A = this chain, B = another copy of it.
Amino acid sequence: MMRPYDELLLRFAEIRDLAAVQALAAWDQEVMMPPGGADARAHALAALAGTVHEKSTDPQLARLVERLWRGRARLSPLPRRQVELARRTVRKARRIPSDLARELALAESRGLETWREARRAKDWRRFAPALATMVRLKRRVAQLAVAADGAPRGSRAPHYDALLDDYEPGLTSATLDALLGELQDFTVPLLHRVVATRVRVDLSPFVGRFDVAAQRAFAREVVEAMGLDLTRGRLDLSTHPFCSGLSPGDVRMTGRFAPGDLRGGLFGVIHEAGHGLYEQGLDPARAREPAGGAVSTAVHESQSRLWENLVARSRPFWVHFLPRLKRHHPQLRGVGVGDVWRAANAVQPSFIRVEADELTYNLHIVLRTEIERDLIEGRQSVSDLPVRWNDGMARLLGLRPRNDAEGVLQDIHWAMGLFGYFPTYSLGNLAAAQFMEAARRDVRGLDHRIAQGNLRPLREWLRENVHRHDQLVPADRLVRRVTGRPLGVEAFARAQRAKVAELYGI
C-alpha cells in the first residue's frame, strides 16, 4: 500500500504531465502548426482539457486530499503546503461539472477564432455573441464558486472575487480596488502635467528602417546576457509574443519584429525573457508537485516588467548595450545614451495597451478591470461594451478610439475567458518596482554592474529571492518577505516621478 501523501504526489504528477502537454499543444498551435491542422488541434485540446478535468475531479483523489487535509496538524510545513495547494486545485476543478468544462473549452476555441475574424474586420457585432456566451459561462463558474465557498465578507463584487482568485490566489476586489484607485489617483494628474508641457520626445532612435535579422540577433544577445539558457528553451517568432514554460528545462518564448520600429521587437523579447527567467528559475525537482510552478500571475508579470521597463529602459542598460546595438544597426552611429533613454521612456496616451508607456499602461488596466468586474457581476451588458469602452478611454486617457479594433476588440483575453487576468499586469508593475528597490538595497552597485553589461547579480538576486520558491509561500507573503512591505504603489510612484521629472522637467 502506498502512503496517502505519496499517492497524492503521484496523482498530481500525472496531472502536471498532461498540463505540460496542453502547454506544448498550445505553443505549437501559435508557432509551428500549419493552417490545415486547426480543426484537429481544437479537438485535441478539448480532449486534453477533458482528461485533465477528469483526473483532477476523480472522487478518489478528492477523498485523498480531504483526508490529508483533516490530518494536516500532523504534517510538517512543506507537505502541509502541498496538500493545501492540491486541495485548492481539486476543489476548484470539482466545482465545474464536466459539461460546463467541455462548454468552456469549446467556447474558448470558438471565441478565439471569432475574435480574430472580428478584429481583422473591425466588426464588434461579429464578436459580441461569442463574448456573451463566454460571459455567461464564466458567471456560472463564479456563481458555483460563491455557492461552494461563500464570498469575502462585505465584498461588493463576490463573483469577480472568485475569478480573481484563479490568477492571484487570495486577492479580493476590495484590496485590488484600493491599489488601482491609488494608482489612478497618482497617474491621472501626473499625466495631465506631462501633456501640459507639450514636450515631444524625439523617437527617431527607434523609428526608421531596421534590418529584421539584425534586430533578432541583437535581441538574442541581450537575452543571453540576461542569463536565459537556450539549451533549456527556445526563442521563435509568432504573431502574438508569449512565453510558455512546459517545464523549467523547456521554456519557450516568442517575439515579433517590425522593420519600421525597434521597440516592439526588442522590448517584447526582453519582456518574454523576463517571464522565461522566472520559469527557468523554478525548482525542477518540484515541477510535478502541487507546490511547483509560478506563485501568481502578478509575480510572473513583475518579472517580465522588471526586465522590460526597469532594466531595458534604464540608462545603465544602454551605457553597455547602445554600442552593441549600433554594431547591428550602423545608422544609429550618432545617437547617444540620453537619446535612447528618452525615446524609450516617452509618455504619450495611446489606444493600444501593449504599446502603452509605463505610466499610461495602468490606465488601460483600470478601464479593463472596471468593465470586466461589471460584466461578471451582471452590471454591464455585452452589447453596450463599445460605448462603455470609448467613454472610459476618453475619461482616463483623453482619447476616443476611431474603431473597435483599436478599442474594445484589441485584446485576446476575454475571447479566451480570461476574466480577472488584466489587473495582474498592474500589480506586476507595482511588484516589479518594489522588487527592484529591494534588489538595489541588497546588491551593492547594481546599476554600475548593469552599466558594465553584467546582468548576472540581478538575475541571481531574483532567482534566490523569487524564482526558486515556486509556490512555497503565497504571493503576498513573498512580496512582504523580500521587500519588507506589502504590495503598494509607493515604489512605482517614486520611480515614475523621478523619470518624469528628468524627462519633462516637472
Chain B residues with Cβ below 8 Å from A443 are none
A38, A40, A50, A287, most chain B CB atoms within 10 A:
A40
Kindly identify, within residues 194 to 251 of chain A, every residue whose CB is under 8 Å from any CB belonging to chain B: 229-234, 246-250
14 A-B interface contacts by CB (under 8 A): A18-B47, A21-B21, A24-B25, A24-B28, A32-B32, A34-B233, A34-B250, A36-B232, A36-B247, A36-B250, A37-B246, A40-B287, A41-B250, A43-B288
Chain B residues with Cβ below 8 Å from A6 are none
Q: Report how far A410 CA is from B250 CA in the complex, Å.
A: 29
Q: Report how far A230 CA is from B37 CA in the complex, Å.
A: 11
Chain B residues with Cβ below 8 Å from A47 are 14, 17-18, 21
Interface assignment of A35: CB less than 8 Å from any CB of chain B: yes
This protein's copies in its complex:
2
B13, B36, B38, B233: which contacts A43 (Cβ < 8 A)?
A: B13
Q: Are B34 and A234 in contact, CB atoms less than 8 angstroms apart? A: yes
Q: Are A18 and B250 in contact, CB atoms less than 8 angstroms apart? A: no
Q: Report how far A284 CA is from B36 CA in the complex, Å.
A: 11
Interface assignment of A46: CB less than 8 Å from any CB of chain B: yes
Chain B residues with Cβ below 8 Å from A39 are 247, 249, 284
Interface assignment of A98: CB less than 8 Å from any CB of chain B: no
Q: Are A44 and B32 in contact, CB atoms less than 8 angstroms apart? A: no
Interface assignment of A405: CB less than 8 Å from any CB of chain B: no
Q: Are A33 and B250 in contact, CB atoms less than 8 angstroms apart? A: yes
Q: Are B51 and A18 in contact, CB atoms less than 8 angstroms apart? A: yes
Interface assignment of A332: CB less than 8 Å from any CB of chain B: no
Interface assignment of A418: CB less than 8 Å from any CB of chain B: no
Q: Are B37 and A21 in contact, CB atoms less than 8 angstroms apart? A: no
Q: From residue A465, how far is it (CB to closest CB) to chain B in Å?
A: 23
User: 19 more A-B contacts (CB under 8 A) besides A14-B50, A33-B250, A34-B232?
Assistant: A17-B40, A17-B47, A18-B51, A20-B40, A20-B43, A21-B25, A21-B47, A21-B48, A35-B231, A36-B231, A36-B232, A36-B249, A36-B250, A37-B246, A37-B247, A37-B249, A37-B250, A40-B287, A43-B288
Q: Are A40 and B231 in contact, CB atoms less than 8 angstroms apart? A: no
Q: Report how far A47 CA is from B11 CA in the complex, Å.
A: 10
Chain B residues with Cβ below 8 Å from A250 are 33-34, 36-37, 40-41
Chain B residues with Cβ below 8 Å from A33 are 250
Residue of B nearest to A48 (CB): B21
Residue of B nearest to A233 (CB): B34
Q: Report how far A50 CA is from B11 CA in the complex, Å.
A: 12
B25, B51, B249: which contacts A40 (Cβ < 8 A)?
A: B249
Q: Are A249 and B44 in contact, CB atoms less than 8 angstroms apart? A: no
